[in-house]
Structure 1
Amino acid sequence: MEKIDLHDFRFSGSTLGEIPDLRTLDPADKAEMLMSGVDVEERQRAGTYLQVDHGSVHCKSLQPGVEILDIKEALKKYDGLPGHFWTQVDKDKDEFTRAAAENLHGGYFVRTEKGAKITEPVQSCLFLKSDMVGQNVHNVVIVEDDSELHIITGCSVAHDSKGAAHLGISEFFVGKNAKLTFTMIHNWADSTVVRPRTGGVVEEGGAFINNYVLLKPVKDLQSYPAIRLNGRGAVARFNSVIVAPKGSYVDSGSRIELNAPDTRGEVIARTIASGGTIVSRGFIGGNSVPAKGHLECKGLILGGGVIHAVPELMGTMDGVELSHEAAVGKIDQEEIEYLMARGLDEDEATSTIVRGFLNVDIMGLPKELHDVIEKTIAESQKDMF
């Protein structure tokens, strides 16, 4: 991981103003957003938030029961969001959190009403369009008691970007017997540096499902979301699918704290280094009983690259049940030969194995988004081999 100098990027002066109809966006920008799961037609969506560079350009709810605001508007409406804003992430954690705190550009605030079952996903996109622009965002998601929500958030950069930096703070609050599914698709470029900082809390009977997909090049990314299960019976699951081609450095992981009885946590990571470097982290801490946690990190090295798996388990109470499985290796030649014996050539056999390894079925995604990811995997394979 290289030292990032934030002075190399421009953190002011790039705002577009409102875009009422996303279909009027530049075709190249729409294509990049689509590869991040964002539909400019807003079909089968409960709402949309789009930020370009330093400001929100589109923000609206399309279904009752869910509120979507620019974070600056939410801070005004709710008197600074006491009890939520900067409570799950320490603003003095590092230079990136301090930069985001000192110069807030935007970000989304999403809140469900108590008992609301939002059947269609809310979509958001944090887009970097200008060259050498730096973007500070702060997102707050509140899923109130007995409600359900799925957010699809796509982070992307313009196709011809010569460099950009994204600093993103996200804080999640999942109420009693509530459920949040949060799917993040990163569609960066080989000149982008990314520093998300994420924290959240889940109350009694709540569930937090986090899906993370990174299949395109990125210069330098560091991400380590942390979720605390503070209520009895709370559940958290992190699924990630990551590919690092040549020139990409990805330090990514997830942390779950089992702080109440009958809590369960699971971290599942699938990584492929095709010339780049991946540090795959995972931590589960068992601080109450009964509690169960499982961590699984599996990596493939194709055509060079480095994978460093760092699984961590910490039990602080008698009776916690924590386990992990970590493996880094190559495609088994016998598997390739098996498929070749059934009519595939070597490239087809290898591609089939890779697609099976990067199994997104574990994520339980809507079919439309599943198909987008499958298409992205197929395109990424051209670079892998």
Structure 2
Amino acid sequence: MSELSPTLVDLNSYSFTGRQSPELPDFSSLSDESKHELRMVGVDVDATGERAGTFVQFDHSTVHCKSSGKGVEVLGIRQALKKYDGLPEYFWKAMDPEKDDFTRTAAKEELHGGYFIRTEKGVKVAEPVQTCLFIKGQNVGQNVHNIVVVEEDSEVHIITGCATSHDVTSALHLGISEFYIKKGGKLTFTMVHNWGEDVMVRPRTVGIVEENGVLQNNYVLLKKVKSVQSYPTIYLNGAGAVARFNSVIVTPTGSHVDTGNRIVLNAPNTRGEIISRTITTGGTIVARGEIIGNAVPARGHLECKGLILGGGLIHAIPELQGCVTGVELSHEAAVGKIAQEEIEYLMARGLDEDEATSTIVRGFLNVEIMGLPQELRESIDRTIAELDASDAM
């Protein structure tokens, strides 16, 4: 995937060494500000007992890692590589390290960390597992590799937050993620990004889903970031496998987000769905989506809708590729503005203009479809409410 009007990344501008932090037995020693920043990306720092496992990384160090739920293992990736003799079935097996400059850099630079999460066969993990990849230092380059293995007939929800400290404006995040969902397994993966204004983000993700497996992927980006380029690819290799992507993205002035999803239907009775909701208040969004049908019967649907509020650019690029007779693929894409009649309808029912606009924006960015935990949904709702309604006019 190539970027439109690409934001070039100078790897020499970032430090990939020297940012180690001590381990944290819990989060009580963190400042109130740090706790708030972690909460904003879904991390339960108050030890309410509603997480099945926790992984937190600061810059180049894993600072907290534990499993607390039955049937799920959470390790730092380096610990997992040592424990499982290099993870020969999973480490760099779905992802090609020669894919592009960023995967080559990730493979060659020192591995700072990342997480390994694996469920036990048949276990439905009741509470979410939480992970956080946090950058605390200015001009830090962070290189992580994450592996998730959902064993046969098991289920887990992972909430991962990626963020920078409030005083960090410039940093680079390189993240390799490989998902392996075995027969009948289900992974719900929710990612919340909250980066700094000059942060560059280059994640690379590949997933393989076996027979009757399910991947539900949720992505939320509502804050300013200089540049994101991301295009997860999921291969549905087993009969009856399903992949669903939901994305909610807002770009203020100065943000360039080039992102999307690819689903490859490689087996009969597979289904893929990509739903994105984007708003620009002055930034650039390249909203991509591709579904490739290589087997029948198989169905895929792609839906990309964007609102331009106060300037900016949205470039929607839906792609369908049917490779066999009988595959069923569809898409719809729309970019526009809030209809004046919708605002007038709500104003006639007692709302002022700003309240009417905010209500429409919240409905457009509806995150309830993602099945998020209540506290994370409330945090996202607060962020959406902060959008300047005047930009919509």
> In which range does the TM-score fall when normalised by the shorter chain?
over 0.9
Deviation at residue 382 of structure 1 after TM alignment = 6.4
Partner SS state of residue 219, structure 2: strand
Tell me the alpha carbon deviations over residues 81-126 of structure 1, each in whole angstroms, 9 at most, x when there is no partner: 1121111211111221122112211000000010111010000000
Tell me the alpha carbon deviations over residues 231-290 of structure 1, each in whole angstroms, 9 at most, x when there is no partner: 000000000000000000000100000000000000000000100000000000010000
* Distance 1:384-1:121 versus aligned 2 partners, 3 A rule: farther
| 1:32 is aligned to 2:37 | yes
Conserved 8 A contact 1:215-1:380: no
Conserved 8 A contact 2:354-2:389: no
Give the corresponding residue for 1:117. Answer: 124
Partner SS state of residue 28, structure 2: helix
| 1:76 is aligned to 2:82 | yes
1:240 and 1:354 map into 2 onto residues whose CA distance is 15
2:237 and 2:54 map into 1 onto residues whose CA distance is 30
**How well do the aligned residues superpose, as a CA RMSD in angstroms?**
1.1
Conserved 8 A contact 2:52-2:68: yes
**Pick from 20, 27, 30: which aligns with 2:25?**
20
Deviation at residue 368 of structure 1 after TM alignment = 2.1
Tell me the alpha carbon deviations over residues 19-77 of structure 1, each in whole angstroms, 9 at most, x when there is no partner: 11112212211111111011112320001000000010000001121001000010111
1:135 and 1:261 map into 2 onto residues whose CA distance is 40
1:137 and 1:58 map into 2 onto residues whose CA distance is 15
1:232 and 1:11 map into 2 onto residues whose CA distance is 42
Conserved 8 A contact 2:212-2:240: yes
| 1:184 is aligned to 2:191 | yes
Give the corresponding residue for 1:328. Answer: 335
Q: Which amino acid aligns with 1:74?
A: A
2:322 and 2:389 map into 1 onto residues whose CA distance is 43
Conserved 8 A contact 1:35-1:376: no
Give the corresponding residue for 1:142. Answer: 149
| 1:339 is aligned to 2:330 | no
Give the corresponding residue for 1:67. Answer: 73
1:376 and 1:247 map into 2 onto residues whose CA distance is 18
2:85 and 2:155 map into 1 onto residues whose CA distance is 25
Q: TM-score, normalised by structure 2?
A: 0.96
Deviation at residue 381 of structure 1 after TM alignment = 4.0
Conserved 8 A contact 1:232-1:263: yes
For structure 2, the 5+ residue unaligned runs are 1-5
Give the corresponding residue for 1:305. Answer: 312
Deviant stretches of 4+, over 2 Å: 379-385
Deviates more, 1:85-94 or 1:202-211: 85-94
| 1:93 is aligned to 2:105 | no
Superposition pairs of residues 231-310 of structure 1, within 5 angstroms: 231-310=238-317
Partner SS state of residue 23, structure 1: coil
**Pick from 371, 381, 388: which aligns with 1:374?**
381
Conserved 8 A contact 2:358-2:389: no
Q: Which amino acid aligns with 2:70?
A: P
Give the corresponding residue for 1:220. Answer: 227
Deviation at residue 176 of structure 1 after TM alignment = 0.6
